[in-house]
Amino acid sequence: MAAFVVRAAVTGFALWVVTRVVHGLSFVGGDTRLQRIGIIFVVAVVFGLVNAFIKPVVQILSIPLYILTLGLFHIVVNALMLWITARITADTTHWGLAIDHFWWTAIKAAIVLSIVSWFLSLVVRPARR
């Protein structure tokens, strides 16, 4: 259980960093700082669930595009996962992650999120051992 909470917190922090770097991506809702932190944590959990259940199906269906683009299509798939998370949270509950435009905003966010998540995994990994 502790590993799940740590992973969700790291993902939430990475998403928060991405919202600070990429214009057009933001968290919606929450009046107080505690509510904002809760929203970020819930969005991180939803993002993890989307990556666990929907991403493998999309990756299998898009194998020809992965081959054709030599793996660069992975960025588009990650952007799609961010967009699905935003649709689930902000559009259905009026709080969560909001993306202005799919193509440029989500693509930039996917690239920055990959870099930030990679860096944070390097920082957190020694602490888990």
Domain chopping of the chain, boundaries:
2-122
Computed over every residue of the chain, the mean pLDDT equals 92
Span 18-41, average pLDDT: 93
Helix ranges (H only) for the chain are 2-21, 33-53, 55-61, 63-68, 73-93, 107-128
Predicted pLDDT of residue 86: 94
pTM: 0.90
Q: Give me the percent of the chain exceeding a pLDDT of 90.
A: 78
